Amino acid sequence: MRSTRPAASTSATSDATSCLRRPRTIAEGSTRARAARSLPTTTEPRAVSGYAHVNIWRLDDRDDPSDTTAANAVAERLRAQPGVRSYTTVRTGEHEVVAVTVFDSESQLRAALDAVADVVRGRIRPLAVAGPERREGPILRHDAVA
What does the pLDDT look like over 6-16, one tens digit per residue? Answer: 444 444 444 44
pLDDT of 144: 79
Over the stretch 88-134, which tens digit does the pLDDT of each residue have?
A: 999 999 999 999 999 999 999 999 999 999 999 999 999 999 999 99
* Rounded CA separation 146/129 (Å): 37
pLDDT of 74: 96
Q: Say what the pTM is.
A: 0.66
Q: Give the amino acid at 27.
A: A
Is pLDDT above 50 for 19?
no
Q: What is the mean pLDDT of residues 62-76?
A: 94
CATH topology of domain 51-138: Alpha-Beta Plaits (3.30.70)
* Rounded CA separation 115/52 (Å): 16
Q: What is the mean pLDDT of residues 18-24?
A: 39
More confident position, 5 or 90 = 90
pLDDT of 48: 63
* Rounded CA separation 141/146 (Å): 16
Is pLDDT above 80 for 50?
yes
Residue 5 to residues 2, 8, 23, 36, 136, Cα–Cα distance (Å): 9, 9, 20, 30, 56
Over the stretch 80-95, which tens digit does the pLDDT of each residue have?
A: 999 999 999 999 999 9
More confident position, 33 or 75 = 75
pLDDT of 49: 85
